[in-house]
Chain A
Amino acid sequence: AQTVTQSQPEMSVQEAETVTLSCTYDTSENNYYLFWYKQPPSRQMILVIRQEAYKQQNATENRFSVNFQKAAKSFSLKISDSQLGDTAMYFCAFTTHGGGSQGNLIFGKGTKLSVKP
């Protein structure tokens, strides 16, 4: 079975500091895609960053970066210079490349991040 595990139900960080959210996954596939989504109180899932499994280079999007360890099946998210607007639920997710079809997303249970002033 394909699973995603987020071992930190809640985390907090001071504004302007750095925080790392953990994610591990399990799949027998070799070709897949990993994502971090942010869900603020508005409920909409917002894509934060994505990583293609065949790329060894870690993805970076402004203050957000990932540490992708394929052998360990680990995909952590680092948020630098945390801002109050980063307060939200963060979900790790992955999907496999199903040929001509779109793979469905498999989500972890989420980490609730609070950024404190």
Chain B
Amino acid sequence: EAGVAQSPRYKIIEKRQSVAFWCNPISGHATLYWYQQILGQGPKLLIQFQNNGVVDDSQLPKDRFSAERLKGVDSTLKIQPAKLEDSAVYLCASSLVWGDSGANVLTFGAGSRLTVL
């Protein structure tokens, strides 16, 4: 089974520039998540999709971050304009469905490391 694919793996930009990250989840996984992980901290949920609908985007800084999952498969996370504090690893994860089941394991991608100068 292919894993969660993310690109690019690394990106360095200057503040106020824009950047986009791409995620292709495991085939058949309905739920897709974007997490922000700042160095030394646990991942923080930015947005959760169920198919192509948004389930939770309460912690997404909507003035600069946007995400879409148009066909219910792959997803794009965009930051525009970037700030210094956006330097982090952006993790994409997917699971079969969301529900009260211990079998719903999240599979994470390797992440996209963003450095904002």
Check if A and B associate. no
